[in-house]
Chain A
Amino acid sequence: MGPQTRRHPLAEWFHRRGWSDLIIGLPYLWLLVLFLLPFVIVVAMSVATRTPTAPPFGYGGDNPVINLNGYARLLHDDLYIRAFLTSLLNAANAMILCLLIGYPMALGLTRVSKNWRNVLLMLVILPFWTSFLLRVYAWMGLMGKNSWFNGLLTSLWNWATPEGWAVTSIPMMHSNFAVVLVMVYTYLPFMILPLYSSLERLDPALDEAAMDLGTRPFGVFLDVTLPQSVPGIIAGGLLVFIPAAGELVIPTLVGDAAQPMIGRVISDEFASARDWPMASSVAVALLLIMVVPTMIYSHYQAKADTGERK
């Protein structure tokens, strides 16, 4: 037998028919039709001029064909700047909390027996089986002034703080706190699953080797486990941060209306203000804020990968 490895007969058949190219091409086609094309349309809309027609935008007229008013307003109107900052801050807080809660959970998953592991993994994704809206409404109930949950936290607060600080209830609803809380709850599985898959691949013999060389268990975690799970941390972080920053439903339902997040701003510009070019400009800016760091990361990641394979 030569060095040439033989393909599986099925793979061979697909290859002969030219189907393998098609199958490899499908995801790209998907990206092209459902991502790149809409994005081009949004970019095109962002440089249009608002008109009272339907659809409510056009090109040219009194304004230049490429109208950058929307982008200019982004930089000057502090409504947008504040919305961006609120979004990034809430998303960052949610991401960090998800990491702090999710990491021990993912690590725990790798340390239990196979049977328990399947049960616990099931529990991690179980919330997806009920409607997302229903779960947000449930949190609204819990955080409300008259709920047992709020009552419990209130008595805890009153018990733990000096006399003068007593309150009748904790104002949780309609705050960034509520937004972050519900986002952490919603996005936690997106953190746990990539972390779990990167932790599960680690060789337990490495932990033993580190212990054998004199390192205590917590040191083993810092020296061996943590550095090797960085790809999982970054994947989980992106999976939480990106949707959290653009989140619309959660801040609308439980957030502070005076401090809107950017998703809310886009939605308002499209629907209430009917300023499609402005809404598109905000959307493009949000996308750039998300995509550019991700691309820089994956560029360095790819470079590190090929460097390692040298």
Chain B
Amino acid sequence: MPDQPAPFLRIDGVSKTFGTFQAVKDVSLTIAKGEIFALLGGSGCGKTTLLRMLAGFEEPTAGRIWLDGQDMTGVPPWERPVHMMFQSYALFPHMSVAKNIGYGLKHEKLTKDQRMARVREMLDLVQLTPFADRKPHQISGGQRQRVALARALARQPKLLLLDEPLAALDKKLREHTQFELMSIQERTGVTFIVVTHDQEEAMTLADRIAVMDKGQVKQVGAPGHVYEHPDSRFVANFLGSITQFPARVSSVATDRATVEVPAFGATVETGLIPGLAAGEALTLAIRPEKLTILREKPAGLNAIPGEIKDLAYFGKDSLYRVILPSGELISVHAVNAKREDNRPDWYDKIWLGFEPASAILLRD
């Protein structure tokens, strides 16, 4: 990513209301040229609606969209340099694969040879040359998805919108196609906005992600940042798994805070968040992989006593459910780095340790 990306796409306070239902609420985003940006959120949170406003199928009820310095308000879909890959692919069933891919090119001032060359180039890009003359129902789901991608890329759009591009594929093909998408994006340099409700997919594909909930963007940032520094309980919960406990700040030092967590039956040390004051009630959240299971009470580290309630051994790693003194459960993820036989077992009394910086404090 460039240091100071020029705002290639600017979404400025965009809302969309259907009747009395507000599907998208005051969304503002800027997206840089050549970026892969993922919109992540649960079903019905307004991802498709936002994408349709970018493509021009819906007009925003409020707000504006600027693309490459141009106000998109009132510009019909057929005049926007934005192409969309539909959730259902929407391939033309009466046209061959090659015709589908070349469809948008008839609006370009190209000779027949140039057009055919472009189609061939696209077929090559998505590795479908042998299927050029087939109809869409004569190829597999994954191949259809690639035709849809090639069709959307053929006119060299400034911005490509992909609505759940991989949802219809099985797990293996999906993983493979993710990397294919990324390499195609790299080669073409087109800006991608990918809609997905699969957080792993979003984190693999995207330079930055926006997590949406009920029509609002909750947080935007690089996947690693959003995962490690969620700023709301919703985002913390939505990305990966996490256990959350009510907590109260006891004291604040220059680089540490001491937080009392009733569920732990103890106070723990945490990092700081801006404006933290003693006595503030908030939520302490901790991800399973940040916890260490120990036989003996550790010195220095935050330490919580517990007992193994449940465990799942997956070979390379294990998942534990640990019951705390208060009776609440916490998940712990451990990598089985050593080949040892005395791994914690059911009903073992153990200690959980974690770094102060690993605890996430959430106000919202």
Contacts and interface: CB of A to CB of B under 8 A. Distances in A.
A228 interface: yes
B138 interface: yes
B88 interface: yes
A214 B155 contact: yes
Interface of A: 203, 205-206, 208-216, 223-224, 227-228, 308, 310
B245 interface: no
B86 A213 contact: no
B259 to A, nearest CB: 51
B110 interface: no
Interface in B87-145: 88, 90-94, 103-104, 107, 135, 137-138
B151 A205 contact: no
* Residue with the greatest number of chain B CB neighbours at <10 A, chosen from A203, A209, A211, A224: A209
Given A213-B78, A213-B104, A227-B94, 20 more contacts: A203-B88, A203-B90, A206-B93, A208-B84, A209-B92, A210-B92, A210-B103, A211-B76, A211-B77, A212-B55, A212-B82, A212-B152, A213-B107, A214-B107, A214-B155, A215-B78, A223-B92, A223-B103, A308-B135, A310-B138
Contact of A205 (B76, B82, B86, B137): B86
Nearest to A215: B78
Interface residues of B, number: 26
* Residue with the greatest number of chain A CB neighbours at <10 A, chosen from B86, B90, B91: B90
B57 interface: yes
B83 interface: yes
B92 A211 contact: no
A297 to B, nearest CB: 17
Chain A contact residues: over half helix, strand or loop, or mixed?
helix
A308 B55 contact: no
A258 B349 CA distance: 109
B58 to A, nearest CB: 11
7 contacts: A205-B90, A208-B90, A209-B151, A211-B57, A212-B152, A224-B92, A228-B94
A213 B88 contact: no
A208 B104 CA distance: 13
B155 A209 contact: no
Contacts of B76: 211
A310 B135 CA distance: 10
Contacts of B82: 212
A212 B84 contact: yes
Contacts of A228: 93-94
B138 A308 contact: yes
